[in-house]
Structure 1
Amino acid sequence: MNLRKNLLAASIATLPMMLAHAAGPQMMAAPVAQTSPQESAGLAAKLANRPSSAGLGMQHGFAIAGQHPGVAGTKITRARHTYNGLRVFGSESVVVTDAADNIVSESVSDRRAGLNAARGVAANGARTGAPDLTPALSGADAIAAVVRSVAPNGVHRWAPQAELLIYPVMKSVRVAAAVNKAEAALNATDLEDVVDHYELAYLVKTRMADSRKRVLYHDTVVNAKTGAVIAQWEALQTVVGSGKSQYNGTVPINTTLSGSTYQMKDATRGVGGTFGGMAITNANHAPESNPTPGTIYTNSTNTWGDGLQYVSGGSTTSANGQTAAVNALWGLMNTYDTMKNTLGWQSLDGNNTATYIAVHVDNNYDNAFFDPNCKCMYIGDGGSSFNNLGSIDVIGHEMGHGVIDATSNLTYSGESGGLNESGADIAGEMTEAYARAGGTGSVIPATGNDWVMGQEISKSGQPLRWMYKPSKDGSSPNAWSSTLKNLNVHYSSGPNNRMFYFLSQGSNASSGSDYYSSYLTKQPLAMTGVGNDKAYRIWFKAVTTKFTSSTNYADARTKMIASAEELYGVGSKEATAVKRAYAAINVGTDVDETTGGGGGTSVERITNGGFESGATGWAGSTGAIGAFSGQTAYEGTRFAWLGGNGTTATETLTQAVAIPSAATAATLSFALHIDTAETTTSTAYDKLTVTVKNSSGAVLGTLATYSNLNKATGYQTRSFSLLPYKGQTVTLSFAMTEDSSAQTSFVVDKVSVLTQ
């Protein structure tokens, strides 16, 4: 093997793909095609064989719910957990697959375990076992019951839906270490949500308007036996809760010329959708109870608006009436560009589907909202509290709801609802920062946004929300508490907004500062931020590839840390900043910045993960370890070069590692560079398989399979949870197989298993 690599060195050393590091964080891929039923069935079968599904019976399964792009070369699939064909609400997997449909990673929110047990009471007091699965009510009965309670004289804007499912009724219990803690001293990680019992239920979605001309969107969980309401939450995602723009001066806007008439449709951003491109329409005072988009704005010239607040009762198509449309189009263009140019994400769904914004909703309407049914936004002109609601941060906020709707779909209630609202605020602020700097480039500027939501639209000058200190609004808390889930989602968003501010901008050590947190007790007391660009990349990766509909604050912390580690490395300053930012809002404990983020709590379980001590700690094809010409190390001088022969070969590196039974986190990470002489874009000729084995060599789980189809410039950091193997000593295996011609090199470095 070494001979072949040395012979190749001269010819491949100068290729661009030999760069040791990628130029920057990975970008999202182009739109993806939805899988066929056969492909979905194949993925479901693969999932059923993974460790996360161990111990589940034949009645358990997976239902593919949706797909969107991942980073280049991957796609994200959301798979709902099922029992006897019925969805288990809030229980799902987020699966990353590569171009060859191999599973790269799986993020899980699992609420299935009790369904596999006989009916009874578990040690934690939960009632286990599946409910009787024969409903006493029909879906129509459930819808009728909800309509009677929500708006008995209302009308449906969208057809109501009723889905029969298994609803886990959750309860919070203290972890063992927090049993004797005072309530006021609890940290978010001191509690865990467990299933109390299961109910056969209907999830009823009603999108109505009542007799008082209010839009009433509700999701209601109805007991399928008795008709009793188990849970209910609002489903309408609100913000309140060259043309002249009202808030931005003269701005460039993209329009379409049709004959001699200009249309306010941007055909360069997004495809398809209701209007064949990103469009701004004139709702022309259609009532809140039944807002219709109306028609696309048109004009005889390409000069729009007067830059002034709309005069109530005036024409919606005059220069004054056009200003609301200018506000909307400029905001929509910048929201699209922020995500595409910096993250590679196209439109709201990642698949570049065009959306639209309807302006002039109702009369004196003091709100704006994203409607998940049309994947569109409605904007009011303002009334007693606000001017026109088309400021850049408000539009970015509502479009942020659209991204969450297309990906993690965080349930709009409790802690997940707060995270949903916070995610929209984050999108609004990052769009504002990008737009204020000119709306170009691949990086979100470190400054430019004001870290308050909706100040421009407020008639009083008071913002809707202060991200850096949420309590300034008089209702939002600055930190997590056990009662956070009981608040309106616009208030429960507060702590996560503050987390994001600290992650980006850092904190202040003075107790009198608005930027101070008493929960930061490690050194330095003023935590260091990582800037807007990195903070947003970490957040966006977590939301799109790891969060599920039931993610709460503690789960968000875990998945944000994993995202930071995948983007910037285990022990990186970015991962440390995530830990500290969440600690600052009472989610997890604080760590010292000077200890690589471990704060003394992380333990490295791998010996010689950087290969600088040669073969020490490793077994198998140890001749693959060295400082060879033709490849470069991720760090230091040595690495493991598996493959690269151009002839039939198999090579394996292994190391045994113990995962403590008391571990609360166990993360395998490694840096991987793949280059190849293969020219195919469809066939995986050469492969590297990463598995976990027991002491007898039996495979306990396959973490990932890479091939010549995954070639990439520079190293990519990969990360996987080993927590399913806690209490075991397992063997990590990197196994390469190469066919008879055309080399593929799998270069591995910086292998780490950190446990806490």
Structure 2
Amino acid sequence: MKLRSPLLALCLAGIPLHAAQLMSAPVTVATPQESAGLVARLTALDAHQGLTNDYSFRISSQHPGITGQKITRAQHTYKGLRVFGSESVVVTNAAGDIVSVASSDRRPGIAPSATTPGAAPLAAPPTPADLTPTLTADDAIRAAVQDIAAGATHRWPPSAELLIYPVMKTIRASSAGDKPDDQLNALDVSEVVDRYALAYMVRLRMALDGKLVYYDVVVDARDGAIIAKWPTLQTVTGTGNSQYNGQVPINTTQTAGGFQMLDAARGTGGKYGGMAITNADHSSPNNPNPGSIYTNNSNTWGDGKQYSGGSTTSANGQTAAVNALWGLMNTYDTNKNVLGWQSLDGNNTATYIAAHVGTAYDNAFYDDSCKCMYIGDGNSFYSLGAIDVIGHEMSHGVTAATANLIYTGESGGLNESNSDIGGEMVEAYARNGDTGSSVPAAGNDWMMGKEISKSGQPLRWLYKPSKDGRSPDAWSSALKNLDVHYASGPNNRMFYFLSQGSKADTTGDYYSPYLTRTPAAMSGIGNDKAYRIWFKALTTKFTSSTNYADARNKVLQAAQELYGGTSKEAIAVQRAYAAINVGADIDEGGGGGDSGEAVERITNGGFENGSTGWRGTIRVIGAHSGQAPYEGTRYAWLGGNGRRSSETLTQRVQIPAAATSAQLSFALHIDTSETGSAIHDTMVVSLRAASGSTILATLATYTNLTPAEGYQIRSFDLLPFKGQQLTLSFAMREDRARQTSFVLDKVSLLTK
């Protein structure tokens, strides 16, 4: 008899797989007791892998997931200190059950995963022996200030957090050992820990000579050496009469003497109690003061013209504020109406924009210290309040509230790319009537900041980043060394291809030489689906240290969860990333005698018809107590016996000789009562000859060391086996004590 599972999986039967999913209403922040309970459950999962009480978790933030779910970000700690860039993203349902966990694990004493199946395990770097600092926090702040800007003044109080800082190095997969650097794919390399440093993370938010100097600095806690540093100011530069959009409706509040630019219908709390536009009135960019909310005697604002100097409250001075309010309203509405996401943090906390910062100030930036935005009037540029610029900066606020991508290297490039993506989607939504529950298919120009440019040249081209002369079109090993605004280029191009597709014209801007499969011009899935997939990955799977390879895997997972494991949307994600040299290209469809339509080769993959189509230990199929299905009511529960046992499920399948695509996928949940670091229980997924006797390929081996809360979608490319009749096999073995459950559902093999 099966044992009741100690770790509950979520039943997803009530969530339609292919329906548009909305984010929940603002979440209630967990009580200390609830947070402690979640930490205890995560720690128990660690214990199954043999980790000691030195390892724990610290809750850092919470925000909504899809309706009925909450996302909690739990930082990894070792002996009470946070491990920088190491964390888990935990999805829970309304009952508090864990749905899934996505992690970036850089903790001491944990060996990194091998880069390729079958490769020798990698050794863990030495665990820090002494975690006692020589320097104080004040010492570290002084060292950081001296290194960055000795004469600067602090705009916000500096801080210094003692932590464990993993110093990373790049290693190659064994299969890429002889590849020249310029031929490497992003999946050919991995970032692993080289050593650990006891360090202070110093946050400086300063000003000097009319400029903001925002830096994060990693200072060695023993000798004061600067280990790493990076700028953190998130800028766009690298019925009102708006400047860029004609007459637009803006939501204001009536007062005793007239009206003010306070939108009380969008957001609550914050500095002003609602979304607001304030008049910085040329306050110095060195230390900008947002000033007071814009007011006017009538409810007609602005003259639609570039600010020409003089009064910031005249009709001409109001135009920058109109630009800002319309942009802020549309950013809010795009995410709320399309995704259900409210304001920047998902919890509907109001923000504000301060217009007229400085004099002829050529910048706009988001400041997470106040969770607000500042806009300059421009000099080389026009006023920096264009719709895509505001969507860009406000999207930095979404990133800060969710993945909090570290603003350097590849993660910094993804941070900037998310803002470019957000800016384009807000522009598409706004230019098509700013209503509705989907992002329109067109309306944006795929060029960031074109309207603010006096030369007509945009800041960035999403479809062909290299047109600016600095941004690369594809991933390379040098990407992590670029300014984040340029490192965003490849992912911007990926998103363009995902939405709009590519072209086969080798001389055009929309061609990728990395798309080598059929057809050469990949198909896009449109703005709406592309944005939903990207946003789900950002908010529920990305960690602060996510790089391009990790992003590709997690965006693919998001597409599979939303639209299916072998869906056209999941295929488009793989092709779009392949188009920027991240992962291998795959065939899109066509051929096989089915006019490009996918054919399901698995019989009864959801087990709803009992054992139909399956052979082996068919008693494992059913609707047992103690586990939940991925969808429907039945599933296959291999293991969970707590005694020596073997269970197998097999099905014979045929992949047509003319197939151009063959994608296997299944949903798998693993939980265990085993402890320690030894492998006791396994499930092997393999392909055998039609007779079932000869193993042709082992696709994956799962063990008691790979438990995961909730179901995970697993997928494999079986096209190399086209023209063959095969036996798909799931074979489980348990040893003599302590159960491990391998719960299988939604098995699918789609061919085209």
String of CA shifts for 1:495-525, please: whole Å, max 9, x gaps: 0000000000000011011000000000001
Q: Secondary structure in 1 aligned to 2:470?
A: coil
Are the counterparts in 2 of residues 244 and 251 from structure 1 also a CA contact under 8 Å? Answer: yes
Residue 605 of structure 1, CA deviation: 13
Structure 2 CA distance for partners of 1:53 and 1:473, relative to 1, 3 Å:
farther
2:634 is aligned with 1:640? yes
Are the counterparts in 2 of residues 380 and 389 from structure 1 also a CA contact under 8 Å? Answer: yes
Q: TM-score, normalised by structure 1?
A: 0.81
Structure 2 CA distance for partners of 1:222 and 1:668, relative to 1, 3 Å:
farther
Structure 2 CA distance for partners of 1:700 and 1:150, relative to 1, 3 Å:
closer
Task: Give the structure 2 partner of residue 483 of structure 1.
Answer: 478
Name the CA distance, whole Å, in 2 between partners of 1:231 and 1:534.
Answer: 38
Residue 55 of structure 1, CA deviation: 3.0
Name the CA distance, whole Å, in 2 between partners of 1:214 and 1:590.
Answer: 45
Out of 283, 286, 290, the position equivalent to 1:289 is 286
The one-letter code sitting in structure 1 at the alignment partner of 2:422 is A
String of CA shifts for 1:251-301, please: whole Å, max 9, x gaps: 000000122320100000000000000000000001111001100000010
The one-letter code sitting in structure 1 at the alignment partner of 2:214 is Y
Name the CA distance, whole Å, in 1 between partners of 2:420 and 2:622.
Answer: 52
Task: Give the structure 1 partner of residue 619 of structure 2.
Answer: 620
Q: Sequence identity of aligned pairs in percent?
A: 61
Structure 2 CA distance for partners of 1:192 and 1:505, relative to 1, 3 Å:
same
Out of 370, 379, 386, the position equivalent to 2:366 is 370
Name the CA distance, whole Å, in 2 between partners of 1:415 and 1:297.
Answer: 39
Are the counterparts in 2 of residues 103 and 703 from structure 1 also a CA contact under 8 Å? Answer: no
Name the CA distance, whole Å, in 1 between partners of 2:479 and 2:23.
Answer: 33
Are the counterparts in 1 of residues 277 and 321 from structure 2 also a CA contact under 8 Å? Answer: yes
Structure 2 CA distance for partners of 1:429 and 1:518, relative to 1, 3 Å:
same
Q: Secondary structure in 1 aligned to 2:109?
A: helix
What root-mean-square deviation, in Å, do the aligned CA atoms of Structure 1 and Structure 2 show? 3.2
Name the CA distance, whole Å, in 2 between partners of 1:20 and 1:105.
Answer: 15
Out of 288, 305, 316, the position equivalent to 1:308 is 305
Structure 2 CA distance for partners of 1:145 and 1:595, relative to 1, 3 Å:
farther
Residue 571 of structure 1, CA deviation: 0.4
Residue 183 of structure 1, CA deviation: 1.0
Task: Give the structure 2 partner of residue 508 of structure 1.
Answer: 503
Name the CA distance, whole Å, in 2 between partners of 1:414 and 1:283.
Answer: 33
Name the CA distance, whole Å, in 2 between partners of 1:594 and 1:204.
Answer: 51
The one-letter code sitting in structure 2 at the alignment partner of 1:200 is L
String of CA shifts for 1:322-364, please: whole Å, max 9, x gaps: 0000000000000000000000000000000000000000000
The one-letter code sitting in structure 1 at the alignment partner of 2:431 is R
Aligned ranges for residues 369-388 of structure 1 at < 5 Å?
369-383=365-379, 385-388=380-383
Aligned ranges for residues 152-191 of structure 1 at < 5 Å?
152-191=150-189
Name the CA distance, whole Å, in 1 between partners of 2:317 and 2:512.
Answer: 45
Residue 127 of structure 1, CA deviation: 3.9
Residue 606 of structure 1, CA deviation: 8.7
Aligned ranges for residues 709-728 of structure 1 at < 5 Å?
719-720=712-713
String of CA shifts for 1:374-416, please: whole Å, max 9, x gaps: 0000000001x20000000000000010000000000000000
Task: Give the structure 1 partner of residue 148 of structure 2.
Answer: 150
String of CA shifts for 1:605-639, please: whole Å, max 9, x gaps: 998524387402463365669xxxxxxx98xxx97
Are the counterparts in 1 of residues 610 and 622 from structure 2 also a CA contact under 8 Å? Answer: no
Residue 428 of structure 1, CA deviation: 0.1
Q: TM-score, normalised by structure 2?
A: 0.82
2:524 is aligned with 1:529? yes
String of CA shifts for 1:167-219, please: whole Å, max 9, x gaps: 00000000111111111110000000010000000000000001x11100000
Task: Give the structure 1 partner of residue 690 of structure 2.
Answer: none
Are the counterparts in 2 of residues 62 and 82 from structure 1 also a CA contact under 8 Å? Answer: yes
The one-letter code sitting in structure 1 at the alignment partner of 2:243 is Q
Task: Give the structure 1 partner of residue 328 of structure 2.
Answer: 332
Moved more, 607-616 or 689-698: 689-698
Q: Secondary structure in 2 aligned to 1:49?
A: helix
Residue 244 of structure 1, CA deviation: 0.2
Q: Secondary structure in 2 aligned to 1:557?
A: helix
Gaps of 5+ in 2: 1-11, 113-119, 593-599, 625-629, 637-645, 651-662, 674-679, 684-702, 717-729, 735-739
Q: Secondary structure in 2 aligned to 1:50?
A: helix
The one-letter code sitting in structure 1 at the alignment partner of 2:184 is L
Name the CA distance, whole Å, in 2 between partners of 1:699 and 1:185.
Answer: 37
Are the counterparts in 2 of residues 131 and 198 from structure 1 also a CA contact under 8 Å? Answer: no
Name the CA distance, whole Å, in 2 between partners of 1:722 and 1:503.
Answer: 19
Structure 2 CA distance for partners of 1:102 and 1:611, relative to 1, 3 Å:
closer
Out of 560, 563, 566, the position equivalent to 2:561 is 566
Are the counterparts in 2 of residues 444 and 532 from structure 1 also a CA contact under 8 Å? Answer: yes
Residue 54 of structure 1, CA deviation: 1.5
Moved more, 254-263 or 42-51: 42-51
Are the counterparts in 2 of residues 114 and 130 from structure 1 also a CA contact under 8 Å? Answer: no
The one-letter code sitting in structure 2 at the alignment partner of 1:619 is I
Residue 123 of structure 1, CA deviation: 7.6
Name the CA distance, whole Å, in 1 between partners of 2:334 and 2:606.
Answer: 37
Name the CA distance, whole Å, in 1 between partners of 2:156 and 2:331.
Answer: 27
The one-letter code sitting in structure 1 at the alignment partner of 2:328 is L
Task: Give the structure 1 partner of residue 266 of structure 2.
Answer: 269
Structure 2 CA distance for partners of 1:202 and 1:541, relative to 1, 3 Å:
same
Name the CA distance, whole Å, in 2 between partners of 1:358 and 1:696.
Answer: 58
Task: Give the structure 2 partner of residue 679 of structure 1.
Answer: none
The one-letter code sitting in structure 2 at the alignment partner of 1:189 is L
Are the counterparts in 1 of residues 17 and 564 from structure 2 also a CA contact under 8 Å? Answer: no
String of CA shifts for 1:213-237, please: whole Å, max 9, x gaps: 1100000000000100000000100
String of CA shifts for 1:89-132, please: whole Å, max 9, x gaps: 00000000111111100000011153689xxxx98587422252
Name the CA distance, whole Å, in 2 between partners of 1:467 and 1:294.
Answer: 35
Name the CA distance, whole Å, in 2 between partners of 1:283 and 1:145.
Answer: 33
Name the CA distance, whole Å, in 2 between partners of 1:547 and 1:20.
Answer: 22
Are the counterparts in 2 of residues 478 and 498 from structure 1 also a CA contact under 8 Å? Answer: yes
Structure 2 CA distance for partners of 1:728 and 1:187, relative to 1, 3 Å:
farther
Task: Give the structure 2 partner of residue 206 of structure 1.
Answer: 204
Structure 2 CA distance for partners of 1:463 and 1:131, relative to 1, 3 Å:
farther
Structure 2 CA distance for partners of 1:198 and 1:733, relative to 1, 3 Å:
closer
Are the counterparts in 1 of residues 78 and 108 from structure 2 also a CA contact under 8 Å? Answer: no
Task: Give the structure 2 partner of residue 682 of structure 1.
Answer: none
Aligned ranges for residues 342-381 of structure 1 at < 5 Å?
342-381=338-377
Q: Secondary structure in 2 aligned to 1:65?
A: strand
Out of 390, 394, 397, the position equivalent to 1:395 is 390
Are the counterparts in 1 of residues 618 and 649 from structure 2 also a CA contact under 8 Å? Answer: no
The one-letter code sitting in structure 2 at the alignment partner of 1:351 is N
2:192 is aligned with 1:194? yes
Task: Give the structure 1 partner of residue 5 of structure 2.
Answer: none
Residue 750 of structure 1, CA deviation: 2.6
Are the counterparts in 2 of residues 414 and 484 from structure 1 also a CA contact under 8 Å? Answer: yes
Structure 2 CA distance for partners of 1:233 and 1:442, relative to 1, 3 Å:
same
Aligned residues: 654
Q: Secondary structure in 2 aligned to 1:128?
A: coil
Are the counterparts in 1 of residues 566 and 665 from structure 2 also a CA contact under 8 Å? Answer: no
Residue 24 of structure 1, CA deviation: 2.3
Aligned ranges for residues 581-592 of structure 1 at < 5 Å?
581-592=576-587
Name the CA distance, whole Å, in 2 between partners of 1:125 and 1:700.
Answer: 17
Are the counterparts in 2 of residues 409 and 548 from structure 1 also a CA contact under 8 Å? Answer: yes
Name the CA distance, whole Å, in 2 between partners of 1:133 and 1:116.
Answer: 20
Are the counterparts in 2 of residues 51 and 700 from structure 1 also a CA contact under 8 Å? Answer: no
Residue 139 of structure 1, CA deviation: 0.3
Residue 563 of structure 1, CA deviation: 0.3
Structure 2 CA distance for partners of 1:622 and 1:183, relative to 1, 3 Å:
closer
String of CA shifts for 1:413-465, please: whole Å, max 9, x gaps: 00000000000000000000000000000010110000000000000000000
Q: Secondary structure in 2 aligned to 1:441?
A: coil
Name the CA distance, whole Å, in 1 between partners of 2:161 and 2:488.
Answer: 28
Are the counterparts in 1 of residues 381 and 453 from structure 2 also a CA contact under 8 Å? Answer: yes
String of CA shifts for 1:590-610, please: whole Å, max 9, x gaps: 00012899xxxxxx9998524
Structure 2 CA distance for partners of 1:614 and 1:115, relative to 1, 3 Å:
closer
